[in-house]
Amino acid sequence: MSAQNKETGFKFPKHNSKMSFYNQDGDEVGVLDFSGAHLTFEGNADESAIVFMDNISTVFQYRLQLEYNKGYKAGKDFTQKKTSG
C-alpha cells in the first residue's frame, strides 16, 4: 500500500481518571469523571465549587509566596552586589 492511500488520524488516549471533592468532614461532595466520552459531574455543585476554589486559592497563594521569595532574594542579591563593589 502506498503512503498516499493510508488514512491518517489521531485519537486522544482514554483517560480513566476522576477528581473527587471532599468537605471538611471527609464526605465526598462531588466527582468530576474524565473517563467517558464527555466530562461528567455528579454531586453537590455548590459545595464542590467551594472545595475546588479553596484548594486553587491555597495553591495560588503558595505559588505567589514562592515567586515573591525568589524575587526578593534576586533583588537583595542585586543590591548587595551593587553596594559591595
pLDDT in tens, 5-26: 666 565 555 556 888 999 889 9
Looking at the domain assignment, is residue 76 inside a domain?
Answer: yes
Burial 53-75 (b: 16+ CB within 10 A, else e): eeeeeeeeeeeeeeeeeeeeeee
Q: Which helix (H) or strand (E) holds 57?
A: helix 45-84
Looking at the domain assignment, is residue 60 inside a domain?
Answer: yes
What digits encode the pLDDT tens for the residues 53-68?
Answer: 988 898 899 999 999 9
Q: Which helix (H) or strand (E) holds 19?
A: strand 18-22
Which domain does 80 fall in, by range? Answer: 10-84
- What is the tally of structural domains in the chain? 1
**SS3 for 18?**
strand
CA-based nearest residue to 18, from 39, 37, 47: 39
Looking at the domain assignment, is residue 66 inside a domain?
Answer: yes
